[in-house]
Structure 1
Amino acid sequence: MLIRILFLLLFGCATWSAPAAALILYTEDWPPITYQHNGVADGMAVEVVREIQTRLHDNSPVEVVPWARGYKELLTSPGVMLFTVGRSEAREKQMSLLGPIAVSQTVLLARKGEAAKLLALGSGIYQRPVGAYRGSIFADAASAAGFVEVDLAPTPQVTAQKLLHGRYDMWVEGGFVVASVLKDIHQPPDAVEVVRVLESLELYLAFSRGTPGDEIRRWQDAFAAVKRDGSFKRIYNKWLPRDTPPMELRLIGVPPGH
Structure 2
Amino acid sequence: MRRFFASIFRFKCVKDIFVFLLLVCLTSFSVAQELTIYTEDWPPVNFKNGNAVDGMAVDLVRALQARIGGHQEIRLVPWARGYKAVLEEPNVMLFSVGRTPEREKLMRLLGPIAISDTVLYTRKGQAERLRSLRDGIYSLPVGAYRSSIFVDVAKKKGFQHIEQANSPQIEANMLLAGRFDMLVESSVAINQILKGIGRNSSEIEKLTVLDSLELYLAFSLNTSPEIFNAWENALRAAKKDGSFQKIYQKWFPDEMPPMDVQRLGPADRP
Shared fold (TM-score, shorter chain, > 0.5): yes
- Note if 1:180 corresponds to 2:200: no
> What displacement does 1:105 show?
0.3
- Note if 1:51 corresponds to 2:63: yes
Within the candidate set 143, 149, 160, 1:148 is matched to: 160
SS of aligned partner of 2:253? coil
Structure 2 counterpart of 1:22, one-letter code? E
> What displacement does 1:254 show?
2.8
> What displacement does 1:189 show?
1.5
- Note if 1:208 corresponds to 2:220: yes
Q: What is aligned with 2:148?
A: 136
> What displacement does 1:253 show?
1.3
SS of aligned partner of 2:215? strand
Structure 2 counterpart of 1:70, one-letter code? G
Structure 1 counterpart of 2:250, one-letter code? K
Aligned residues: 248
Deviations 1:18-42 (A, max 9, x none): 4415210111111111011121111
CA distance in 1, matches of 2:35, 2:58: 15
**Long gaps (5+) in structure 2:** 1-11
SS of aligned partner of 2:267? coil
CA distance in 1, matches of 2:157, 2:265: 24
Structure 1 counterpart of 2:96, one-letter code? T
- Note if 1:237 corresponds to 2:221: no
SS of aligned partner of 2:223? coil
Q: What is aligned with 2:230?
A: 218
Structure 1 counterpart of 2:90, one-letter code? P
Q: What is aligned with 1:73?
A: 85
Deviations 1:184-239 (A, max 9, x none): 11112111111000000100000011001111011000100000000000110010
SS of aligned partner of 2:189? helix
CA distance in 1, matches of 2:72, 2:143: 35
CA distance in 1, matches of 2:84, 2:195: 28
Q: What is aligned with 2:47?
A: 35
TM-score (norm 1): 0.92
Say which is worse superposed, 194-203 or 246-255, in terms of deviation: 246-255
SS of aligned partner of 1:180? helix
TM-score (norm 2): 0.88
Q: What is aligned with 1:168?
A: 180
- Note if 1:254 corresponds to 2:266: yes
- Note if 1:22 corresponds to 2:34: yes
Greater fraction helix: 2
Within the candidate set 111, 125, 141, 2:137 is matched to: 125
Deviations 1:66-112 (A, max 9, x none): 11111111111111000000000100000000000000100000000
CA distance in 2, matches of 1:162, 1:172: 12
Q: Rg: which structure is higher?
A: 2
**Long gaps (5+) in structure 1:** none
CA distance in 2, matches of 1:243, 1:254: 31
Q: Give every structure 1 segment of 4 or more consecutive aligned residues whose post-TM-superposition deviation is greater than 2 Å.
A: 15-19
